[in-house]
Amino acid sequence: MAGSGEESKKLQLYSYWRSSCAFRVRIALNLKGLEYEYKAVNLLKGEQRDPEYLKLNPLGYVPTLVNGDAVIADSFAIIMYLEEKYPQRALLPQDLQKRAINYQNYSFAQVLGIGIHLANLPCFPFLQAANIVAANIQPLQNLAVLKYIQEKVGPNETTPWVQTHIRKGFEALEKLLKDYAGKYATGDEVYVADLFLAPQIHAAIKRFEIDMNQFPTLLRVYEAYQELPAFQDAVPEKQPDATG
Ligand SMILES: N[C@@H](CCC(=O)N[C@@H](CS)C(=O)NCC(=O)O)C(=O)O
């Protein structure tokens, strides 16, 4: 029966310690105070392509959230699911008009299949910032993409490739957020944009050697995340499957 036992079972998060997409969801779970069982999927060993795992996540990616009979296989969808189901510690602004503008921006970009053109849209940044990370930076640094570049272009080409796309995305984010940022990306409250920015900046610094001094707004909000336990408990290095 759909939904049976959902409330009595612990949430399960299929995750990989270094996955920035899973990192977003770990922050959301921590902010909302939700306990979960950590199910490690080793991306380097190809466990994301295991037939049993593909039944949960047909694209073979992490994260996947399982809540009883509910299976959600995309970080953004998971965060929106958590937001609806567990409204405590809201991740979107309460003002419905602001939310509507957020969704308008997000769906417009999705329909066109492109990143959002900053100049053409109402400049409301919550989902716009999340979408720049989710659509225009992270997919270009995915393991499958890097493996392809390594094999087809050359073994030393992956880092410059990732750096180029992180810098391009961060330049857009810097312009977008400089007028909105407060202590955090879109003001003095943590919202969904922060859940996407923190893992991407973390990866930029720790893995891809990006000099964040070029991006003062992003650097400032990243420093503010260092004080938040929900963010710090979610960092890759603290996960049970972390290796290095
Ligand atoms: N849109 C998906 C993207 C998921 C994704 O790209 N996950 C990466 C880790 S951050 C992955 O599992 N990569 C495995 C691979 O490339 O084989 C989401 O936001 O959850």
| pLDDT tens track, the chain, 244 positions | 334 445 557 999 999 999 999 999 999 999 999 999 999 999 999 999 999 999 999 999 999 999 999 999 999 999 999 999 999 999 987 766 555 544 544 544 444 444 434 334 444 567 788 888 999 999 999 999 999 999 999 999 999 999 999 999 999 999 888 887 899 988 888 988 899 999 999 999 999 999 999 999 999 999 999 999 999 999 999 999 999 7
Query: ω into residue 63 within 30 of 0, thus cis?
Result: yes
Atom 19, ligand 1: which residue's CA is nearest?
Answer: 75
How many Å lie between the centroid of ligand 1 and the Cα of residue 53?
13
Token pair, residue 44, equals 């380097």
- Establish whether residue 54 lines the binding site of ligand 1, counting it when its CB lies within 6 angstroms of any ligand atom: no
How many Å lie between the centroid of ligand 1 and the Cα of residue 61?
4
Pocket probe for ligand 1: among 19, 39, 44, 61, the residue whose CB has the most ligand atoms within 8 Å is 61
- Helices 192-206 and 75-85 pack at an angle, to 10 degrees, of 140
- Establish whether residue 144 lines the binding site of ligand 1, counting it when its CB lies within 6 angstroms of any ligand atom: yes
- What is the predicted ipTM? 0.99
- Establish whether residue 76 lines the binding site of ligand 1, counting it when its CB lies within 6 angstroms of any ligand atom: yes
- H helices within 183-215, ranges in order? 192-206
State pTM to two decimals: 0.88
- Establish whether residue 143 lines the binding site of ligand 1, counting it when its CB lies within 6 angstroms of any ligand atom: yes
- CB atoms < 10 A from the CB of 84, how many? 7
Output Rg (C-alpha) for the chain, integer angstroms: 18
